[in-house]
Amino acid sequence: MIAILSILFWLSGAALFWTYFGYPLLMALRAKLAARPIQRDERYLPSLSLLIPAYNEADVIRAKLENALSLDYPSDRLQIIVVDDGSTDGTAEIVREFAGRGVTLLQQAQRGGKMAGVNRGFEAATGELVVLSDASPIYEPNALRLLARNFADPSVGVVVGALRVWDAENAVAKPAGLYWRYESALRRWESLTGSTVAVHGNMFAVRRALYRPLRRHTINDEFSIAMEVMRQGYRVVYEPQAISYDMASATMQDELKRRARINAGRFQALFSAGYLKAPTPDLTFRLISHKLLRPLTPVFMLIAFIASFALMVLSALSSDSAFWFWLLAFFAQDAFYMLAFAGYLAERNGRSHKLLSVPYFFVSSNLAALVGLWRWLRNRQSVTWQKRTNL
């Protein structure tokens, strides 16, 4: 029994180390020694459609459209489309105010989910490139130009921009910003060695000719679109200088709901849609290391915690000299979780602390991954999305 528990503990620890340290270090080394540079061209300015799916975005849609219309991209090559997914808060009425300025509104009388809206938006898009954007992110003026320059390389099919979290004294915003800096570095290294497997909905550009309509029940639309493009032999790359800004969730509870949905969609894409069976062994390796092991982190954490506790008890009963090691291993984990719980109590009482917010964010994010796994196993994740409460 002790041998089996020891193996489970060390395998879980190895999986955690590989996911958060080993794989990123390998990608960094590959990017340094065997890079595949992207052939960018600043003069490349193809026609472009900015597609914004929206549901109950009345509080942000006006600012989003004003930002879109002010972007530094030739107006005769820019199309702006908003697909309203049955909003009930006046979102469509606000978008209509921009009709005279070239904004197209497509309305869905009944909610069909984001994927249905994206499919409809692509049908109406005329640009050579389509940039998918959530309704809340604000773009830097040169963001579209910086995205477009990567498509001068004929091997590139998708480009994802950078996300910056608005600076705020908040238990969610601070660690979320740290998380995105970590992700940004990993995506840059993946891109320099082929393709990144991590994309997001804040700024996502794709060659329209490569788009393949997806089923309405698809949850993670951007990731699924990117996988379809990679299946056609094109690269998915990260453009760190094309910057979008967004707010973090107001509370960790809101962030948990959002991440649970994302993780349910991740399992759906990898297994139900079969994207884990990638066209190349290298891409499968990246998907396992970056997209599969990451949401399985809470499973490894639970195994390590339970195994170390059991080994501590068994070694104490048998007077094994390893008792002190297992005691330290168990209480180190316990201390980390207690810090996370203290972070929860601090948020509930309207306070925040840097020391507490990081473990709280990490544990809460992994709890969301566990919830997402459970929803996927039970097929209980809705394809419609709930608007996030921002700061």
| pLDDT per residue as tens digits for the range 313-331 | 999 988 888 899 999 999 9
Strand order in the sheet with 204-207: 103-108, 78-85, 48-54, 129-132, 204-207, 156-165, 235-246, 138-139
pLDDT confidence of residue 352:
67
Judged against a pLDDT cut of 70, whether residue 36 lies above it is answered with yes
Q: Give the side-chain half-sphere CA count within 13 A for 273.
A: 25
Beta bridge partners of 244: 139, 163
Local confidence band at 357 (pLDDT 50, 70, 90 cut-offs): confident
Integer Cα distance of 258 and 372 in angstroms: 10
**What pLDDT sits at residue 20?**
94
Give percent of the chain with pLDDT exceeding 90: 64
Measured in whole angstroms, the distance separating CA 191 from the mean position of its chain's CA atoms is: 16
pLDDT score recorded for residue 84: 94
Q: Quote the pLDDT of residue 108.
A: 84
Q: Is the pLDDT of residue 391 over 50?
A: no
44-72 pLDDT, tens digit per residue, is 999 999 999 999 999 999 999 999 999 99
| Nearest-10 Cα torsion for 239, 243, 245, 249 | 10
| Confidence label for 339 from pLDDT (cuts 50, 70 and 90) | very high
Query: Is CATH 3.90.550.10 the classification given to domain 48-250?
Result: yes
pLDDT at 14: 97
Who has greater pLDDT, 237 or 176? 237
- List phi, psi (to 5°) of 355: -65, -35
344: number of Cβ within 10 Å = 17
The answer to whether 347 touches 256, Cβ cutoff 8 Å, is: no
Number of helices (H), then strands (E), belonging to the chain: the values are: 13, 8
Q: Which two tokens stand for residue 380?
A: 């209980």
Per-residue model confidence as pLDDT tens digits over 358-385? 888 889 889 989 999 888 888 775 655 5
Helix spans in the chain (H): 2-17, 23-33, 61-69, 91-96, 114-124, 143-149, 173-192, 221-231, 252-267, 281-286, 297-317, 323-348, 354-378
Specify the residue for token string 């002010």: 70
Whether 26 and 304 have beta carbons less than 8 Å apart is answered as no
Domain boundaries defined on the chain: 48-250
pLDDT band at 247 (very low <50, low <70, confident <90, very high): confident
pLDDT score at 171: 45
Task: Look up tokens 């007077």; give the residue.
Answer: 319
Question: Which residues 6+ apart lie within 8 Å of 194 measured at CB?
Answer: 36, 235, 282, 283, 286
Buried b (16+ CB within 10 A) or exposed e, 88-98: eeebbebbeeb
Provide the pLDDT for residue 45.
97
Q: What is the pLDDT of residues 256-286, one digit of tens each?
A: 777 788 888 888 888 988 899 889 999 999 9
Q: What is the pLDDT of residue 346?
A: 83
Average pLDDT, rounded, for the chain: 89
Q: 169-212, pLDDT tens digit by residue?
A: 454 455 556 777 888 899 999 999 999 999 988 899 999 999 99
* Lowest-confidence pick of 41-45, 230-234, 367-371: 367-371
H-helix or E-strand containing 99?
none
Confidence of residue 223 (pLDDT cuts 50, 70, 90): very high
The tens digit of pLDDT for each residue in 15-26 reads 999 999 999 999
**Are the beta carbons of 132 and 51 closer than 8 angstroms?**
yes
- Angle among Cα 246, 248, 250 to the nearest 5 degrees reads 135
Query: pLDDT value at position 387?
Result: 56
pLDDT digits (tens, 9 = 90+) for 68-120: 999 999 999 999 999 999 899 999 999 999 999 999 999 987 787 888 899 99
